[in-house]
């Protein structure tokens, strides 16, 4: 009975992943990593010119979707996470690793790669 229940939930999870409905809460960062959803850039310039994908810059602003519990520094003490879920942040252009959550590409970056909180 118990093993069939576990199999049922594994099947539901695999089915959800196949549909692309994996939720952000299924990705839980470890240590001092932060899960960031990049803000989509405009496709046009202020004058109305449409920009092709090859010209667009990588976004540097994103919304924090999940945070880890904190890391350990060189001295062996716990470091706290200073950003919170829901904040918009400015991060390094080439920092982080791309992670596919559902159909979207998000970034998993270290807290030290976050440069500022955008108000």
Whether 96 contacts 105, CB under 8 Å: no
pLDDT score recorded for residue 63: 92
Q: Rounded CA gap, 82 and 92, in Å?
A: 17
pLDDT score recorded for residue 25: 55
Q: Rounded CA gap, 106 and 23, in Å?
A: 12
Q: What is the pTM of this model?
A: 0.67
pLDDT score recorded for residue 19: 52
Q: Which CATH number fits domain 21-118: 3.40.640.10, 3.40.50.720, 2.30.33.40, 1.10.3720.10?
A: 2.30.33.40
Q: Where are the domains of the chain?
A: 21-118
pLDDT score recorded for residue 47: 79
Q: Rounded CA gap, 48 and 56, in Å?
A: 15
Q: Rounded CA gap, 83 and 96, in Å?
A: 16
Nearest Cα residue to 82 out of 74, 71, 73: 71
What is the token pair recorded at 17? Answer: 């992943």
The tens place of each residue's pLDDT in the chain, 119 residues long, gives 444 544 544 545 555 555 554 555 577 888 889 999 988 776 777 777 777 766 666 778 899 999 998 888 888 888 888 999 999 999 988 878 888 888 888 889 999 899 999 98
Q: Rounded CA gap, 81 and 1, in Å?
A: 42
Q: Rounded CA gap, 112 and 3, in Å?
A: 43
Longest dimension (CA), the chain: 65
pLDDT score recorded for residue 5: 43
pLDDT score recorded for residue 56: 65
Q: Rounded CA gap, 85 and 36, in Å?
A: 9
């Amino acid at each position: 009975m118990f093993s069939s229940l576990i199999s049922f939930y594994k099947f539901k999870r695999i089915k959800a992943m196949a549909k692309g409905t994996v939720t952000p809460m299924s990705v839980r960062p470890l240590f001092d990593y932060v899960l960031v959803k990049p803000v989509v850039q405009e496709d046009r310039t202020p004058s109305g010119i449409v920009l092709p994908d090859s010209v667009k810059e990588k976004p540097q602003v994103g919304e924090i979707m999940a945070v880890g519990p904190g890391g350990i520094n060189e001295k062996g003490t716990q470091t706290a996470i200073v950003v919170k879920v829901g904040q918009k942040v400015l991060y390094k252009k080439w920092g982080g690793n791309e992670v596919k959550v559902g159909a979207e590409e998000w970034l998993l970056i270290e807290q030290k790669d976050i440069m500022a909180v955008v108000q």
